[in-house]
Structure 1
Amino acid sequence: MVHTGERSHTPLPELSGHGLHLGPWDPDSDADVEAWLRGLSDPEFRRWNTPLVLVTDRDSARKSLRSKARDIADGTSLSFRVADETTGTALGHIGVNEINRGLRLARVGYWVLPEARGRGVATRALALVAHWAFTGLGLHRLELGHALGHDASCRIAERCGFRYEGTLRDAMWEAERQDAFRDVHLHARLATDAVDIEP
C-alpha cells in the first residue's frame, strides 16, 4: 500500500468482535442524533473534554454528525458508532482522528454512554479499532491523549497496549472553558508493538 500526504476517501468499515459492532453514525437517524447529544452533553464527558464546537441540542448534534460524515468522506477522521453486537443498541463512540497518511499516524479518542460504563466497552472498542487501523488502514503509530487525572482512560489505554510516553503541558482546554489549559497524558502504540489484549 502506498501512503501519501494527500487526502483520499477511506470507506468506513463495519467492524465486529468482542460483543461489539462498530459502524457509521447516521445524521438522519433521530436515535443516533439523540445518542450523540447524550454522549457529548454528559457531565462525566464534559468533565474531561471541552469540544471546540459545543453540542447542546438536537440541531447542533445533527450538525456535528454531518461534520463527522464529511471528515470520513475526505479521509481526515473516521468516526464509529459503538453498538452492542446483538441488539444494535448504541453504547458510545470511537474515532480515528487527525489522520496523517504521510507519517502513517493518527490519534484515537472514545467515549461511552453513562448506562454502558463499567462493562469494558471502551477497551473492547479500542482493541477493535487499533487492530483495524494497523492492518486495514496501514497506519504505523496511534496516539491517545487524555486529561491528567483521568485514571479510567489511562487504564484503558494501557490495557490496549498504548504505552505512556509523557505529559504534554497545557495541551487541552480545562473543563467547560476555552480560556485556560490543562496537561495531557500521551500514550501511543506502534504497529510493531507486541500486544496481548483480552478485552
Structure 2
Amino acid sequence: MDTGPDPSGEGLRLRRWDAESEADAAAWLRGRTDPDFLRWNTPLAQTADLAGARQSLRAQARAIADGTCAHFCVTDEADGRVLGHVGVNAIDRVMRVARIGYWVLPEARGHQVATRALAVVTRWTFAELPLHRLELGHALGHEASCRIAEKCGYRAEGTLRGAMFDTGRVDAFRDVHLHARLTTDDTA
C-alpha cells in the first residue's frame, strides 16, 4: 500500500520499519520483549531474538503490502531515535474501520510519545486511507492507555468481555476497554 510521505508532526516522524536494519530489529525486539509491553499484550507470535524480530518485521511488511495494516516506527523528528511503534491494524475498507495499537520503548515513556504518535497516525489515517472509524482497545486496568485514548479524542464506548488474551496466555481471556473515534467527531 503506497500512502505517500511518512506522517510527521508533534515532534515525531513515523516511518516504515526496516527488517534489514540492525537498529530497527534491535528496537523491535526490545519493545516486544519489554515486561510492561508483555503485561498488557500477548502477541500470537513471540519475538525472542534478532532473527525473530526480522521475521516479525518482514511479516508486517507483507501485511502492509496487501493493505490490511499500516505500521510505523515512531522516531524523534529531530534526531531520528526510535521511540516506539504505532499501527493501524485490521483495516476493513468496506466498512471503513480499523484498529489502532501502539507501544513505547521504556526510555521514551513519560514524554507523551504514545499520545503524540496516536494524534499523528489518527490524522494520517483519516486523510490517507480514508477510514470512517478507528477503534482502540486496551486491557481493562491499563489506565495509561485509557488516558492516551481520551486525550486524542477516542471516546470510551464500553467493555468487551473476554476480548483479548490474558497476560502471557492463549487459553484464558480478559476484558477490553473499547474506545473509538469517527472522522466526523469534533475534537476541539
Aligned residues: 188
CA deviation vs aligned residue, 1:107-153 (integer Å, no higher than 9, x gap): 00000000000000000000001011111211000000000000000
**Structural RMSD (CA):** 0.8
Q: Which residue number corresponds to residue 77 of structure 2?
A: 85
Question: Does 2:176 align with 1:177?
Answer: no
Between the aligned residues of both structures, percent identity stands at: 63
- Alpha-carbon distance in structure 2 between the residues aligned to 1:130 and 1:13: 15
TM-score, with length taken from structure 2? 0.98
Specify the SS of the correspondent of 2:162.
strand
| Structure 1 stretches of 4+ moved >2 Å | 9-13
Q: Is 2:12 aligned against 1:20?
A: yes
For residues 156 and 70 of structure 1, the distance between their equivalents in structure 2, rounded to whole angstroms, comes to 29
Looking at structure 1, the residues matched to 64 and 149 of structure 2 have their Cα atoms a distance apart, in angstroms, of: 24
Matched, 1:52 2:44: yes
CA distance in 2, matches of 1:79, 1:13: 14
For the structure 1 residues 52 and 176, does the alpha-carbon distance in structure 2 shift closer, same or farther, using more than 3 Å as the test?
same
Q: Secondary structure at the match of 1:111?
A: strand
2:15 and 2:5 map into 1 onto residues whose CA distance is 7
Uncovered stretches (5+) of structure 2, i.e. residues with no partner: none
Partner of 1:31: 23
Name the counterpart of 1:99. Answer: 91
Q: Distance in 2 between matches of 1:166 and 1:62?
A: 36
Deviation at 1:13, TM superposition (A): 3.7
Aligned mates of 1:79, 1:12 — CA distance in 2 = 14
Counterpart pick for 2:32 among 23, 29, 40:
40
Once the two structures are superposed, the pairs formed by residues 150-161 of structure 1 within 5 Å of their partners are: 150-161=142-153
Cα deviation for residue 23 of structure 1 reads: 0.7
Distance 2:5 2:41 in 1: 27
Q: Which residue of structure 1 aligns with residue 119 of structure 2?
A: 127
CA shift, 1:11, in A, is 3.5
> What is the CA–CA distance in structure 1 between the aligned matches of 2:125 and 2:39, rounded to whole Å?
28
How far apart, CA to CA, are the structure 2 residues paired with 1:12 and 1:135?
11
1:164 aligns to what? 156
Preserved CA contact (<8 Å) 2:69 2:87? yes
